[in-house]
Amino acid sequence: MGNVERNPFDKSVEENTHPVAVVRMVPIFIMGKRYEVPRSLTIMQAMEYAGFKFIRGCGCRGGICGACATVYRKPGDYKIYVGLACQTVVEPEMYLTQIPFYPANRAGYRFEELKPAPEEIFKLYPELFRCVACNACTKVCPMNIETMDAVSALKQGDIKRAAELTFDCIQCGLCTSRCFGELPQHHIFQLARRIYGGKIQPEAEHLKRAVQVIKKENSFDEILKSLMEMNEEELHKVYLEREIEPTTATEDWMPSERQFLFE
Q: What angle do CA 127, 131, 132 make, to 5 degrees?
A: 145
- Please check whether residue 84 is in contact with residue 97, taking contact to mean a CB–CB distance below 8 angstroms: no
What is the β-pairing status of strands 4-6 and 22-30? antiparallel
Q: What distance in Å separates the CA atoms of residue 188 and residue 152, rounded to the nearest whole number?
A: 12
- Shortest spacing between CB 29 and ligand FES, in angstroms: 20
Nearer to ligand FES, 44 or 131 (CB): 44
**CB count in 10 Å sphere of residue 48:** 15
Nearer to ligand FES, 68 or 188 (CB): 68
Nearer to ligand FES, 6 or 61 (CB): 61
CA dihedral 31, 32, 33, 38 (to 10 degrees): 70
DSSP code per residue over 130-166:
G-----HHHHH-TT---HHHHHHHHHTT-HHHHHHHT
- Shortest spacing between CB 12 and ligand FES, in angstroms: 32
Q: What distance in Å separates the CA atoms of residue 234 and residue 217, rounded to the nearest whole number?
A: 27
Nearer to ligand FES, 64 or 223 (CB): 64
Nearer to ligand FES, 37 or 159 (CB): 37
Q: What distance in Å separates the CA atoms of residue 87 and residue 107, rounded to the nearest whole number?
A: 30
- Shortest spacing between CB 28 and ligand FES, in angstroms: 18
- Shortest spacing between CB 246 and ligand FES, in angstroms: 20
Nearer to ligand FES, 84 or 121 (CB): 84
- Shortest spacing between CB 142 and ligand FES, in angstroms: 9
Interface residues with ligand FES (CB under 6 A)? 58-61, 63-68, 84-86
Q: What angle do CA 178, 197, 161 make, to 5 degrees?
A: 55
- Shortest spacing between CB 172 and ligand FES, in angstroms: 7
